[in-house]
Amino acid sequence: MKIRLASDLQLDSVVDGTGIRTVIWTQGCGHHCPGCHNPQTHDFEGGFEVDVDEVLEEIEGLESQTGVTFSGGDPFYQPEACAVIAKHVHKNKMNVWCYTGFTYEELLSMSKKNPAIMDFLNQIDILVDGLFIMAKHSYNLKFRGSSNQRIIDVKKSLKDKKVVIAMVDDVEADSNRGRYEKKGLYV
Ligand code: SF4
Protein backbone atom coordinates (compact mmCIF):
# COMPACT_ATOMS: atom_id res chain seq x y z
CA MET A 1 0.00 0.00 0.00
CA LYS A 2 1.21 3.51 -0.84
CA ILE A 3 0.63 6.90 0.74
CA ARG A 4 1.18 10.26 -0.96
CA LEU A 5 3.10 12.68 1.23
CA ALA A 6 3.99 16.35 0.87
CA SER A 7 7.33 16.00 2.65
CA ASP A 8 9.42 13.75 4.84
CA LEU A 9 8.24 13.10 8.36
CA GLN A 10 8.87 16.13 10.58
CA LEU A 11 10.22 15.35 14.03
CA ASP A 12 10.01 17.32 17.29
CA SER A 13 7.06 19.57 16.54
CA VAL A 14 5.56 21.36 19.57
CA VAL A 15 2.79 23.18 17.70
CA ASP A 16 0.81 20.31 16.16
CA GLY A 17 -0.65 18.89 19.36
CA THR A 18 0.49 18.27 22.92
CA GLY A 19 4.02 17.19 23.78
CA ILE A 20 6.75 16.56 21.25
CA ARG A 21 5.35 15.17 18.05
CA THR A 22 6.22 13.76 14.68
CA VAL A 23 4.10 15.19 11.85
CA ILE A 24 3.08 13.25 8.77
CA TRP A 25 2.29 15.80 6.04
CA THR A 26 -0.10 14.11 3.64
CA GLN A 27 -0.47 15.40 0.09
CA GLY A 28 -3.84 16.30 -1.42
CA CYS A 29 -6.68 18.52 -0.22
CA GLY A 30 -9.91 19.44 -1.97
CA HIS A 31 -11.09 22.07 0.51
CA HIS A 32 -9.04 25.03 -0.78
CA CYS A 33 -9.65 27.24 2.27
CA PRO A 34 -8.75 30.85 1.45
CA GLY A 35 -5.62 31.74 3.45
CA CYS A 36 -4.48 28.11 3.82
CA HIS A 37 -0.86 28.02 5.03
CA ASN A 38 0.00 24.92 2.98
CA PRO A 39 -1.36 25.45 -0.56
CA GLN A 40 1.48 23.33 -1.97
CA THR A 41 -0.18 20.31 -0.35
CA HIS A 42 -3.48 20.64 -2.27
CA ASP A 43 -2.51 18.99 -5.58
CA PHE A 44 -3.52 15.31 -5.49
CA GLU A 45 -0.72 14.56 -7.97
CA GLY A 46 1.88 16.57 -6.07
CA GLY A 47 4.35 15.51 -3.41
CA PHE A 48 5.61 11.93 -3.71
CA GLU A 49 4.39 8.41 -3.11
CA VAL A 50 6.00 6.19 -0.53
CA ASP A 51 5.37 2.67 0.65
CA VAL A 52 3.39 2.60 3.89
CA ASP A 53 5.85 -0.03 5.16
CA GLU A 54 8.62 2.57 4.95
CA VAL A 55 6.60 4.95 7.12
CA LEU A 56 5.95 2.14 9.61
CA GLU A 57 9.70 1.56 9.86
CA GLU A 58 10.27 5.24 10.56
CA ILE A 59 7.57 5.19 13.26
CA GLU A 60 9.30 2.17 14.79
CA GLY A 61 12.54 4.11 15.05
CA LEU A 62 11.11 7.23 16.69
CA GLU A 63 12.52 8.22 20.05
CA SER A 64 11.28 10.72 22.66
CA GLN A 65 8.10 11.57 20.75
CA THR A 66 4.75 11.91 22.55
CA GLY A 67 2.80 11.08 19.46
CA VAL A 68 2.24 11.41 15.74
CA THR A 69 0.08 14.07 14.08
CA PHE A 70 -1.48 13.60 10.66
CA SER A 71 -1.74 16.89 8.80
CA GLY A 72 -1.54 18.07 5.25
CA GLY A 73 -3.25 18.30 2.92
CA ASP A 74 -6.17 16.43 4.38
CA PRO A 75 -5.31 12.95 5.68
CA PHE A 76 -8.92 11.83 5.22
CA TYR A 77 -8.39 11.62 1.45
CA GLN A 78 -6.13 8.63 2.22
CA PRO A 79 -7.93 6.92 5.09
CA GLU A 80 -6.77 3.35 4.39
CA ALA A 81 -3.06 4.14 4.54
CA CYS A 82 -3.47 6.55 7.45
CA ALA A 83 -5.41 3.95 9.45
CA VAL A 84 -2.61 1.42 9.04
CA ILE A 85 0.02 3.97 10.10
CA ALA A 86 -2.04 5.25 13.04
CA LYS A 87 -2.52 1.70 14.29
CA HIS A 88 1.24 1.26 14.24
CA VAL A 89 1.70 4.52 16.16
CA HIS A 90 -0.47 3.15 18.97
CA LYS A 91 1.39 -0.15 18.89
CA ASN A 92 4.52 1.88 19.57
CA LYS A 93 2.85 3.55 22.56
CA MET A 94 2.35 7.02 21.13
CA ASN A 95 -0.91 8.92 20.69
CA VAL A 96 -2.48 10.09 17.43
CA TRP A 97 -3.73 13.56 16.49
CA CYS A 98 -5.23 14.39 13.11
CA TYR A 99 -6.12 17.65 11.36
CA THR A 100 -8.90 17.60 8.78
CA GLY A 101 -10.96 20.12 6.82
CA PHE A 102 -14.00 17.87 7.18
CA THR A 103 -16.17 18.18 10.28
CA TYR A 104 -16.53 15.22 12.60
CA GLU A 105 -20.17 14.92 11.55
CA GLU A 106 -19.21 14.89 7.85
CA LEU A 107 -16.70 12.13 8.50
CA LEU A 108 -19.32 10.02 10.28
CA SER A 109 -21.65 10.46 7.33
CA MET A 110 -18.87 9.67 4.79
CA SER A 111 -17.94 6.54 6.75
CA LYS A 112 -21.29 4.96 5.84
CA LYS A 113 -20.10 4.70 2.23
CA ASN A 114 -16.40 4.31 2.99
CA PRO A 115 -15.62 2.09 6.00
CA ALA A 116 -11.94 3.10 5.83
CA ILE A 117 -12.98 6.50 7.21
CA MET A 118 -14.24 4.80 10.38
CA ASP A 119 -11.14 2.57 10.52
CA PHE A 120 -9.01 5.73 10.61
CA LEU A 121 -11.31 7.58 13.03
CA ASN A 122 -11.10 4.61 15.39
CA GLN A 123 -7.32 5.08 15.51
CA ILE A 124 -7.40 8.82 16.28
CA ASP A 125 -7.20 10.14 19.84
CA ILE A 126 -7.62 13.83 19.03
CA LEU A 127 -9.21 15.27 15.88
CA VAL A 128 -8.93 18.95 15.00
CA ASP A 129 -11.81 19.37 12.58
CA GLY A 130 -13.26 21.88 10.14
CA LEU A 131 -12.15 24.28 7.46
CA PHE A 132 -9.70 27.09 8.12
CA ILE A 133 -11.83 30.26 8.10
CA MET A 134 -9.82 33.45 7.78
CA ALA A 135 -12.51 35.61 9.47
CA LYS A 136 -12.25 33.34 12.52
CA HIS A 137 -8.46 33.20 12.58
CA SER A 138 -6.65 34.21 15.77
CA TYR A 139 -3.07 33.85 16.95
CA ASN A 140 -4.41 33.26 20.48
CA LEU A 141 -5.73 29.84 19.53
CA LYS A 142 -3.67 26.82 20.48
CA PHE A 143 -3.32 23.95 18.02
CA ARG A 144 -5.87 25.34 15.55
CA GLY A 145 -6.03 28.16 13.08
CA SER A 146 -9.60 29.42 13.40
CA SER A 147 -12.12 29.35 16.21
CA ASN A 148 -14.67 27.23 14.31
CA GLN A 149 -12.24 24.30 14.45
CA ARG A 150 -12.80 21.92 17.35
CA ILE A 151 -10.32 19.81 19.29
CA ILE A 152 -12.27 16.61 19.67
CA ASP A 153 -11.78 13.60 21.89
CA VAL A 154 -12.66 11.00 19.25
CA LYS A 155 -12.89 7.92 21.44
CA LYS A 156 -15.25 9.61 23.89
CA SER A 157 -17.27 11.14 21.05
CA LEU A 158 -17.75 7.79 19.36
CA LYS A 159 -18.70 6.17 22.67
CA ASP A 160 -21.10 8.94 23.76
CA LYS A 161 -22.45 9.42 20.22
CA LYS A 162 -21.92 13.20 20.42
CA VAL A 163 -18.98 15.53 20.01
CA VAL A 164 -16.85 15.70 23.16
CA ILE A 165 -14.28 18.50 23.24
CA ALA A 166 -10.89 17.38 24.53
CA MET A 167 -9.36 19.43 27.32
CA VAL A 168 -5.70 18.86 26.63
CA ASP A 169 -3.31 20.67 29.01
CA ASP A 170 -2.30 23.51 26.75
CA VAL A 171 -5.78 23.96 25.38
CA GLU A 172 -7.09 24.55 28.87
CA ALA A 173 -4.91 27.64 29.04
CA ASP A 174 -6.45 28.77 25.77
CA SER A 175 -8.15 32.15 25.90
CA ASN A 176 -11.27 30.48 24.54
CA ARG A 177 -11.51 28.09 27.44
CA GLY A 178 -14.91 29.39 28.46
CA ARG A 179 -16.54 28.19 25.25
CA TYR A 180 -15.95 24.56 26.14
CA GLU A 181 -18.86 23.11 28.01
CA LYS A 182 -17.59 19.71 28.84
CA LYS A 183 -14.29 18.28 30.00
CA GLY A 184 -12.80 15.38 28.14
CA LEU A 185 -9.61 13.43 28.53
CA TYR A 186 -6.17 14.77 29.19
CA VAL A 187 -3.67 13.28 26.78
S1 SF4 B 1 -8.32 21.81 4.94
FE2 SF4 B 1 -6.30 22.46 5.69
S3 SF4 B 1 -4.86 21.94 4.03
FE4 SF4 B 1 -6.92 21.89 3.18
S5 SF4 B 1 -7.22 23.93 2.30
FE6 SF4 B 1 -8.11 23.96 4.38
S7 SF4 B 1 -6.44 24.70 5.68
FE8 SF4 B 1 -5.50 24.06 3.75
pLDDT at 129 over 50: yes
Give residue-wise pLDDT tens across range 22-63. Answer: 999 999 999 999 999 999 999 999 999 999 999 999 999 999
pTM of the model: 0.90
Looking at the DSSP bridge assignments, the partners of residue 126 are: 97, 153
Domain covering 2-179 in this structure, CATH number: 3.20.20.70
Give residue-wise pLDDT tens across range 65-103. Answer: 999 999 999 999 999 999 999 999 999 999 999 999 999
Which residues form the pocket of ligand 1, taking CB atoms under 6 Å from any ligand atom?
29, 31-33, 36, 38, 41, 72-74, 101, 131-132
Atom of ligand 1 nearest to the CA of 41: 3
Q: Mutual orientation of helices 79-91 and 52-60 as an angle, nearest 10°?
A: 20
Which residue has its alpha carbon closest to ligand 1 atom 6? 33
- Ligand 1 centroid–CA 94 distance in Å is 25
Domain extent listing, the chain: 2-179
